[in-house]
Structures are given as C-alpha cells and as structure tokens.
A and B are shown apart, each in its own frame.
Chain A
Amino acid sequence: MIGSRHAPERVDAVGTVRLDKRGPEAAPWAVDAVGVGKTFRTTSRSVEALQSMDLRMREGEFVCIVGPSGCGKSTFLRIVAGLLPQTSGTLRLRTRSDAIVPIATVFQDYGIFPWKTVLSNVMFGLRVNGVARRESRERARHWLGRTGLSDFADSYPATLSGGMRQRVGIARALAVEPAVLLMDEPFAALDAQLREILQEELLAICEADRRTVIFVTHSLEEALVLGDRVCVMSARPGRLLAERVVPFERPRDRHLRESPQFGAMRAELWDLLRGEVEPQRAAHAVGGVRP
C-alpha cells in the first residue's frame, strides 16, 4: 500500500519532546505507535479511517489529539484501547503486569451504564476484574469523593446532569488506576462553563498524581490547557500532521487562557488545522466529494 505509511519528514515536530517539566528526567516510554492505520472493510467497500498515526509517549505524559471530525481520532483510541485491531503499523504499550485494567477509556457518550447506580458504575471495572466487593466499594468511594460525586453514590445516571454523568465516567476509569487513560472528547457535549470546570478538575487530578493520558478533543483551547503536547491530525484518512510541545508551567490555572502566548499558540494550531478543515468545506460547497 503506497502512502499508507507516511514519510517521517511530514511530522514537523518542534525540537525534541520535553517531558522533564512534569516528571523525572528520562521517564521511560509508555506508548509507542508507529504508522498505525485502520481500513474498515465491509462486503461492498472499504473505508480508510486512519492512514498512519505516530505517537510516542513517555510515562506520565498528557497528550492531546486534535483533528477534523471523522479523521480517525476515535479509531486510533480504540486501537490503543485494544478494542479494535489496526490494519497497518505497530503499536507497543508498556504497562505494569499487576494492573487491574492497564488501559481505561472515558467515552463521550454511552459510556456509563444507566442501569447501575453511580457507585456501581464506578465499581464496575474493579468488580469484573475480581476485586473483592468491599475493596471495590472503598476505592470507588474514594474516587467519587475526588470527582465530587459522593452525594450521588446511590443515584441512577438518568437523574444526573450531563456534567455529573461525565464525572462518573471519569471516576470509573480512574478507579481501576490505569497505566494509560484514554479520553475521547469527554467534555464535547457539555456547555462552555461546565467544560471549563471539568477541565480544571481534571487538571487537578492529573497534576496530583501524574498519569499517561491521551485526550482527544476538537477544542484547541482545551488541548492547550490540558496537554503537555498537542498532536494535530490531518483530514480523513488521518495521519499525524504536526505536534507542538505546550510550554506552560504546571500547575496551570484558569488565567492561562488570557496569556498572549496562549493566544499565539492557539492561532498557530488553528492555522495548521484550518488547512485540513477548509478543503472539506470547499468540496461540500460545490457538492463534490474529496478525491
């Protein structure tokens, strides 16, 4: 397959990736994806959802992935989560052998189970992996506390607001203490104010004890507020277009957004992304399809 594996020079990485800001000098690698691609094949046709994704992450690194919708971000996360096999490229993960769930995912919707109470939802990952009920409950309660859900332990998700529901999803993923946490546009359905609050909460949690996170978002601001590094993907079929190290000190606070450097980085990323979103729009405008 020609062109399925992208040429390395396409990645215009800015210098070496600096992780030292938040961790020990040379943190060992945790995720190593090289040319990971996925083509969906049905009986009638095949769709190249992801062309070639490269991502090398150190332990404790927080990477945000942005890209036009439909470019294969979710597909990439599914591959990393082990929910879907890739059709090209290699993916290596380094996780502890004693992890209950090495890789946990927070989904945008349908994540949490409406038929389980908040507490049971958070206990789910532990219970199905053989953690005793008592211990599961204790751990779940700890995470309910840290996500501000203690008062809702016995509620059903249907009675909660969108923000609370997404907190349940986060608590459920964190309760299994995953080595790698995957988040697929977790705040996309929330209103702007709530999104900022949840971003702050996530920052606090992740800065308290560092963990390896891949966070997919379509919001450049969100990516810059949360990430150590931002990866920009091309339009479908997706490949890594560029990556930028986010230079802001941690712990970060909400005033970060107002700094001129933040605005400049946002503009730079938008310039990269615009080129990917625009051609699609132009093609739609004339009723055509991208070749």
Chain B
Amino acid sequence: MTVDQRTAPSEVTLIETVRPRVGLEASKSRVRRQVWLERGLAIGLPLAAIALWQLASDQAWIDSRLYPAPTTIVDEGWHLLVDGRLLGDIQASLYRILVGLAIGATCGLVVGTAMGVSRTLRAALEPTLNAIYVVPKIALLPVFLTILGLGEAPKLALVGVTVFFFVWVETMETMANVPEGFREAGRSFGVSQLGMLRHVLGPAALPQIFVGLRVAMSVAVMVNTAAEFIVGDDGIGYLIFNARALFAVDRMYVGIVVVALLGMLLTALIGAVGRWLTPWHQSSTRIR
C-alpha cells in the first residue's frame, strides 16, 4: 500500500457531511412499500403475460388453434370439470403421486437413516446406489412394466423409486454430517442409540430432508405424468396425451395447466408441513 501525499496543506479544504435522517415511521412505510412491490411483481408479471397471450390470440397475432386463448382454456376446463372427467383424472394422478411418495419417502428415510448412521453400511451400499441415482428413472418404466404388468403397480413403483433417491440421499448425507459436537453432547448425557436418532440426528437432518422431499415431489409429478403418457387410460398425463392424439388442443392445455397447478400445490404443501415440523429452522432463517 502506498500513501498518497499529493495534496499540499494549502489545498486542503474541510468538508462537512450531514447524513440524512430517516424517521422510524418513514422507514417502516418504506419497508412496507417494498413488500407490496415484490408481491405485486410476483403476481402481476404472470398476469400480464396471460393478458398479453389473450390479446395476441384475440387479435389473431398467433394461431388460436395451436395456441388457444386463456379464456378458451378456462372455458374448456370448466366443461371438463362439470362433466366430471377432469376430477377423475386429477384423482387418479393424485393417488399415484401421493401413494408413490409415501412408499418412496418411507423407504428413503429408512435406508437413508441406516446408511447415515452406519459407516459400514454406507461403504457397502453407497457406490451402487450412487450409480443408480444418476440413471433417469423414467428409463426404468419398461423394466417395471415387464415385471409388474400394466396396472397401477409400475407407475407407483416409478414414482416411489424417484422419490426414494431424493429422500435417501438427503437423509444419508445430512445424518452422516451432523457435527460431532452435537453427537458428543448427546453421548455426554448418556443417550441411547435410539435416543440419539430421536433427539439429535433426526431433528438435525429434518430441514434438509424436507428440501429433498420438496424436490422429490416436483419430480414425482413429472415422472407420473410421463408414465401416464405411456400406459393406462386415466390421469392428467393421459388427458394431455390423449387430447393431443385427438387434436383437442384446448383440452391439452387444460391438462398442462392442471398438472402445473397440481405440482405447485403439492410442493407448497410439503413446504408448509416442513415449516410446521421444523419451527426452529424457520425462526432462524426467515427474514422478518
């Protein structure tokens, strides 16, 4: 570092600076304005996009047979809803996603916990599971179809396997990496192995497990939709694919919108359950 000595004493002038004061009320309203701006942008931007789409369609800037206007999609959705067809498909997809998720998450938690706790088990299984982890799960659908037939089973298996890997990896990684200090604190009070899991390792890993679950949920919606394209005759995936085959473009878009909303809703649900189960995490990270 060099010292700048270019100014002769005679050239120095004094500068007085007064920092402007912002009253408490003013700063509070400024924060509130910022919050409203953010909310407005979050909702306003997609609304504007939809409005533009509507306009483009109405003005025939785009081919409304290929890109039906939002109002057309809503109309079609309403019809499908009223005649009960849509609800049946939603129900079928929801069933597969939720049951698959339950199976996959349970297995992921059990295997992840066991491997997170036992170094030996980790050494034995991790390389193999890691290798399967990178296989696109949808590629396993033919295998499941071959083994499990054409009913619900192959789709449940596919969703389950997908969810399993996300939950497994998060559970194992976080449990294995719980800081030694926490374990030591537990052991210093003579906690049993089960107690260690319940009081130390489990809660330490829980926030990260929910991160895994959230990702798992959105991917579960994805693979389930893809599986429904390929086999079966119900579910939102089938609705979309079948509409395309019939060139019922409006209906196809209804399916896409519904599956998007379903995914959003389900991941938000996981997030909410996660926040409810890990209040400490929330209170330490949420911006107030």
Is there a chain B Cβ closer than 8 Å to A7's Cβ? no
Q: Which of B50-58, B87-95, B126-134, B278-286 is found at the contact surface with chain A?
A: B278-286
- Given A109-B181, A124-B199, A114 contacting B190 (CB threshold 8 A): no
Nearest-neighbour CB distance to chain A for B119, whole angstroms, equals 14
CB of B206 within 8 A of CB of A83, answer: no
Nearest-neighbour CB distance to chain A for B205, whole angstroms, equals 10
Residue of B192, B199, B203, B281 most packed against chain A (CB within 10 A): B199
CB of A156 within 8 A of CB of B280, answer: yes
Is there a chain A Cβ closer than 8 Å to B188's Cβ? yes
Q: B31-50 CB contact bits vs A (8 Å, 1 = yes)? A: 00000000000000000000
CB of A158 within 8 A of CB of B280, answer: yes
CB of B284 within 8 A of CB of A158, answer: yes
Residues of A within 8 A of B200 (CB): 113
Is there a chain A Cβ closer than 8 Å to B142's Cβ? no
Nearest-neighbour CB distance to chain B for A256, whole angstroms, equals 31
Is there a chain A Cβ closer than 8 Å to B65's Cβ? no
Residues of B within 8 A of A129 (CB): 189-190
Q: Which of A103, A124, A156 makes the CB contact (< 8 A) with B283?
A: A156
Q: How many residues of B contact A (CB 8 A)?
A: 25
Given A101-B189, A110-B182, A176-B189, output 8 extra A-B contacts at Cβ < 8 Å. Answer: A101-B190, A104-B188, A107-B185, A109-B181, A112-B185, A113-B200, A116-B199, A125-B189
CB of A128 within 8 A of CB of B187, answer: no
Residues of B within 8 A of A162 (CB): none
CB of A114 within 8 A of CB of B284, answer: yes
CB of B185 within 8 A of CB of A110, answer: yes
- Assembly CA distance A17 to B204 (angstroms): 45
Is there a chain B Cβ closer than 8 Å to A30's Cβ? no
Residues of A within 8 A of B191 (CB): 128
CB of B192 within 8 A of CB of A128, answer: yes
Nearest-neighbour CB distance to chain B for A82, whole angstroms, equals 8
Residues of B within 8 A of A111 (CB): 181, 185
CB of A113 within 8 A of CB of B283, answer: no
Q: How many residues of A contact B (CB 8 A)?
A: 26
Is there a chain A Cβ closer than 8 Å to B179's Cβ? yes
Residues of B within 8 A of A (CB): 179-182, 184-192, 195, 199-200, 203-204, 206, 278-281, 283-284
CB of B283 within 8 A of CB of A159, answer: yes
Residues of A within 8 A of B189 (CB): 101, 104, 124-125, 128-129, 176
Secondary structure call for the A interface? loop
CB of B284 within 8 A of CB of A113, answer: no
Q: A145-168 CB contact bits vs B (8 Å, 1 = yes)? A: 000000000001111000000000
CB of B184 within 8 A of CB of A107, answer: yes
- Assembly CA distance A129 to B187 (angstroms): 11
Residues of B within 8 A of A51 (CB): none
Residues of A within 8 A of B203 (CB): 113, 115-116
For B181, the closest partner residue in chain A by CB is A110
- Assembly CA distance A128 to B187 (angstroms): 10
- Given A128-B189, A129-B189, A83 contacting B184 (CB threshold 8 A): yes
Residues of A within 8 A of B186 (CB): 128
The 9 A-B pairs with the shortest beta carbon distances in the complex, nearest first, are A110-B181, A158-B284, A115-B203, A125-B189, A156-B280, A128-B191, A105-B188, A128-B195, A115-B280
Q: Which of A82, A101, A124, A156 makes the CB contact (< 8 A) with B279?
A: A156
Interface residues of A in 108-136 (CB under 8 A from B): 109-116, 124-125, 128-129
Residues of B within 8 A of A83 (CB): 184, 187-188
Residues of B within 8 A of A78 (CB): 184
Nearest-neighbour CB distance to chain A for B136, whole angstroms, equals 35
Is there a chain B Cβ closer than 8 Å to A206's Cβ? no
Residues of A within 8 A of B185 (CB): 105, 107, 110-113
- Assembly CA distance A112 to B203 (angstroms): 13
